[in-house]
Amino acid sequence: MSTLTITTIQTNLKWEDKAANLRQLEEKILSIPEKPQLVVLPEMFSTGFSMRPEALAEKMDGEAVSWMRAIAAKKRIILTGSLIIEEDGNYFNRLLWIQPNGEFGYYDKRHRFAYAGEDQHYTEGRKRLVTSANGWKILPLVCYDLRFPVWSRQTPQEGEALEYDLILYVANWPERRSLAWKTLLQARAIENQSYVVGVNRVGPDGNNIAHSGDSMVIDPLGEILYHETGKEDIHTLTLQKENLTEIRQRFPFWRDADTFSIEP
């Protein structure tokens, strides 16, 4: 329970082509030689970052959700990434957390990217998800959430425990703002004394917006353990709980944090 093995998949996405994306991602996932507990896909991995949810959304029993369940069961992994989901007439940029036994959790993206019109097409999420894998507490978030530190801020729990050990961001973050992506991922790790994993896509999307990837894994001191830019990449890394515990004990900055609450 002291380690967590994660595989990140930095990939190009076929614009609004669900069948092609599921096909290529299945090939990549089944080719992973290691035995990770968690495999991470980018934001809107089945379609790309599209503002056409009316045409592309599916329900929770839809094709891509069923595909995630099947792959998680076949590979015996937790599989996560976000999809366009319709529910009660609303559209969500929804991150799914699918376990190998079929059980799941989900997180609806809180901060919609108004610069691209996401707020005009998607309903905001109101609740964070803190989940777990192999004894690690994990906070999964989506892309633009990265710019808003309060939403990911640790608050001490009873017995001076912290809420989570790892923050996970899935993204379609444009290359033109890659400096912000890389800098903020490190900032979130340092300020929360947590591991951070950011998984982004590569290649141009249907609006001819370039994506450089820059997927990263960062330790609680802000040190970069993995970084790949400009190409597709499948990377597996094992994180050590002992390292996290030792850093928090040696530098207990979190004890001095402000207390606060967030309006839903």
The residues that are catalytic are 43, 109, 143
Q: How far apart are CA 199 and CA 40, in angstroms?
A: 7
Distance CA 150, CA 193 (A): 14
How do beta strands 195-200 and 166-171 pair?
parallel
Residue whose entry in the numeric block shows the structure tokens 């990140």? 8
What does the alpha-carbon distance between residue 85 and residue 95 come to, in Å, rounded to a whole number?
A: 9
Looking only at the bridges linking them, the beta strands covering 104-108 and 90-98 are: antiparallel
Three-state SS sequence of 141-153: EEHHHHHCHHHHC
CA separation for the pair 260, 155 (Å, rounded): 8
Q: Any residues with CB less than 8 A from the CB of 50 and at least 6 apart, and which?
A: 15, 16, 44, 56, 84, 206
| Angle between helix 63-75 and 18-30 (nearest 10) | 10
For 187, the token pair is: 């900032």
Backbone angles phi, psi at 203, to 5 degrees: 90, 170
> Nearest 5°: CA angle at 161, between 257 and 140?
85
Pick from 53, 19, 48: nearest CA to 210: 48
Residue for token pair 């808003």: 148
